């Protein structure tokens, strides 16, 4: 009996500038798994591979970004598409970190595992996010954590995030994103906070997000 082709609902494969994280500002090819409220197109793994190969042959990119809703729920699909595409580009996996047990399956295909947390995330989500980072480190993959600070995120929360991430992996890359519109050029809070965070971990970065439509994720 013939095996059914692997398929996934994608919100497209656009080209653009990464809005956040360790490769912020890099020109990337985006593979975005569609959320419930997004317009989705069904792609087979072969169709995605062909799309990536075609895009790389026509233009220059720094890397491929895999993101959107629950990308780690589609590891077989991702493995198959990236192997067939053989695009010769590094790959960033941007995830919420809720499937740590799946990370190792992508060790031969993904360059950086990036776990993105929003503000004061619930404790259960944070636990699994750190477990994802731990699994990426164990697999020998580059790994990063991103905290998108909002108006409810206190300095104490930020420092706990940095301290806990360092305890999870001393090699983790940490990125702090202030909320949109925060006057970081006039607010001494960020200078002081960043000084304290840097004392806890050697690789902490304060980066402003690129707003849409210039920035994509």
In a domain, 183, yes or no: yes
In a domain, 125, yes or no: yes
Count Cβ atoms below 10 Å from residue 191 Cβ, excluding itself.
Answer: 11
Classify the C-alpha dihedral 63-68-73-77 as positive or negative. negative
For the chain, how many structural domains are there in total?
Answer: 1
Q: Tell me the pLDDT tens digit for each residue of 12-44.
A: 899 999 999 999 999 999 999 998 778 889 999
- Say yes or no to pLDDT of 2 above 60: no
40: domain CATH number?
Answer: 3.20.20.70
The whole-model pTM stands at 0.92
- Say yes or no to pLDDT of 53 above 90: yes
Residues 48-61 as b or e (16 or more Cβ within 10 Å = b): bbebbeebbeeeeb
Which residue range is the domain that position 111 belongs to?
Answer: 7-216
Question: Can you tell me the distance from the alpha carbon of 114 to that of 95, in angstroms, rounded to the nearest whole number?
Answer: 6
In a domain, 1, yes or no: no
pLDDT value for 1:
43
In a domain, 2, yes or no: no
Do the beta carbons of residue 150 and residue 161 sit within 8 Å? no
In a domain, 84, yes or no: yes
């Amino acid at each position: 009996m013939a095996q059914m082709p692997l398929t996934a609902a994608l919100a497209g494969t656009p080209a653009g500038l990464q809005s956040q994280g360790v490769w912020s500002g890099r020109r990337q090819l985006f593979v975005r798994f569609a959320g419930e409220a997004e317009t989705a197109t069904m792609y087979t793994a072969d169709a995605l591979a062909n799309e990536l190969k075609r895009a790389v042959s026509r233009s220059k990119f720094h890397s491929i970004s895999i993101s959107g809703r629950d990308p780690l729920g589609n590891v077989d699909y991702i493995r198959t598409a990236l192997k067939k595409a053989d695009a010769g580009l590094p790959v960033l996996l941007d995830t919420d970190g809720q499937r740590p047990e799946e990370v190792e399956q992508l060790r031969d295909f993904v360059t950086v595992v990036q776990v993105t947390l929003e503000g004061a995330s619930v404790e259960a989500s944070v636990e699994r996010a750190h477990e994802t980072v731990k699994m990426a480190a164990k697999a020998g993959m580059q790994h990063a954590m991103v905290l998108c600070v909002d108006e409810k995120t206190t300095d104490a929360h930020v420092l706990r995030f940095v301290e806990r991430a360092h305890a999870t992996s001393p090699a983790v890359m940490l990125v702090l994103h202030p909320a949109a519109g925060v006057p970081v050029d006039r607010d001494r809070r960020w200078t002081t906070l960043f000084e304290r965070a840097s004392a806890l971990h050697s690789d902490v970065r304060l980066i402003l997000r690129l707003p849409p439509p210039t920035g994509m994720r």
